[in-house]
Amino acid sequence: MLETLATVVTGGAAEHYEVPAPTSRVTPMTEAGAGYEVMYLLDAGDRAVAALRGELDAMGDSLVVVGGDGLWNVHVHVPEAGPAVEAGIRAGRPYRIRITYLAERTHKGGSGSGVVAVAAGDGIAALFEECGAIVVRRAPGTCPALPALLAAIRQAGDEVAVLPNDDGVRAVAAAAAEIAREEGVTVSVLPTEATVQGLAALAVHDPLRRFDDDVVAMTDAAGHTRSGHVTVADKEAFTSAGVCRPGDVLGLIGGDVAVIGESVAGVAVTVVDRMLAGGGELVTLVTGEGAGEAASEVERHVAGTRPDVDLVVYDGEQGGYPLLIGVE
């Protein structure tokens, strides 16, 4: 089989790998042109990539998809970058996303500095808005639409900090930030992987401070906030704490299952105790639907066992997670 050599340039360094020639497909550039050049590496299976080709071909032109064995290099020119990146997210795991603005466009948005925060519950959204952030909402377990994130960044100002507040949202946030940068906006995507880290970052946000200094302060606050949450298993699975079955209450610390129990309150108390064992002066609880009594029990427990620790409770109204927990 004939082979072709694909080259991916990232940060000045070139990575080379051989791919079968038949996997490459090029669609000629149309006379109308396109607004953005979108490129990314993609971890995905052959069947998903075949569907991706069809989606991207309908969106734009200059389409090139090369790769094999689960690794693909994707290139396309499209009027809007968001749908092209979202198509990659549906197909697999895009990374090293590069977006170049091909047509001249004037940035129209706010001035000054601002914050964009992604929220998965009405109460959480209200909290972020009270702290001065522009909120992009998403359903639990999903990513927000890239055009919505981009619109929020444009609205927020000329210097914008983005709080993804979920590890799965970071790729979409990074893609929106790249587009906004091409339009002249200074954007920093902070490494907030949980809602409680976003709250901690916003607590120290100061719009009157130099943007770079503000980003450092917010990043530091988020980094010093350990996160956990309580959820209910919907299927049998092996976890780091043992086998869980449908209906079991799971307590997670930093994304790993640490406790399996029968009640939300009991598991939450255990999770908080374990997190405080590593130190901490403030516990933050964000309650989901029907978790008020569990939060009250945790509050009583902390008051009785750790009087040196402050505790705050917010009604997040998030679905899927009865309690979100932060320790600073």
String of DSSP letters for 92-135: SEEEEEEEEE-S-----S--SEEEEEEESBHHHHHHHHHTTPEE
Q: What confidence tier does 320 reach under pLDDT thresholds 50, 70, 90?
A: confident
* Nearest Cα to Cα of residue 263 among 300, 291, 304, 305: 291
3-state secondary structure of 47: helix
Confidence category of residue 18, pLDDT binned at 50, 70, 90: very low
Mean pLDDT of 167-179: 90
Q: The whole model's pTM is what?
A: 0.69
CB 60 within 8 A of CB 78: yes
* Rounded Cα gap, residues 152 and 169, in angstroms: 15
Looking at residue 194, its pLDDT comes to 93
CB 323 within 8 A of CB 229: yes
At residue 299 the predicted structure's pLDDT band, cuts being 50, 70 and 90, is very high
What local confidence, expressed as pLDDT, does residue 9 receive?
Answer: 30
Pairing verdict, β 226-232 and 323-327: antiparallel
Taking only the tens place, the pLDDT of each residue in 85-104 is: 999 999 999 988 888 777 54
pLDDT tier at 192 (50, 70, 90 boundaries)?
Answer: very high
Selected residue with higher pLDDT from 304 and 61: 304
Q: What band does 289 get if pLDDT is binned at 50, 70 and 90?
A: confident
Which residue did the predictor score with more confidence, 283 or 130?
A: 283
Over residues 49-75, the pLDDT tens digits come to 999 999 999 998 878 887 778 888 888
Question: What phi-psi label fits residue 12: left (phi over 0), alpha (psi between -120 and 50 degrees) or beta?
Answer: left
Q: What is the DSSP string of 177-207?
A: HHHHHHTT-EEEE----SHHHHHHHHHT--T
Q: How big is the chain by its Cα radius of gyration, in Å? A: 22
Region 210-225: mean pLDDT is 93
**d(C-alpha 2, C-alpha 256), whole Å:** 45
Give the pLDDT confidence of 231-279 residue by residue, as tens digits.
Answer: 999 999 999 899 999 999 999 999 899 999 999 999 999 999 999 998 9
Give Cα separations from 180 to 13, 35, 189, 225, 245 (angstroms): 24, 13, 12, 28, 45
Residue 316 has which token pair? 């997040």
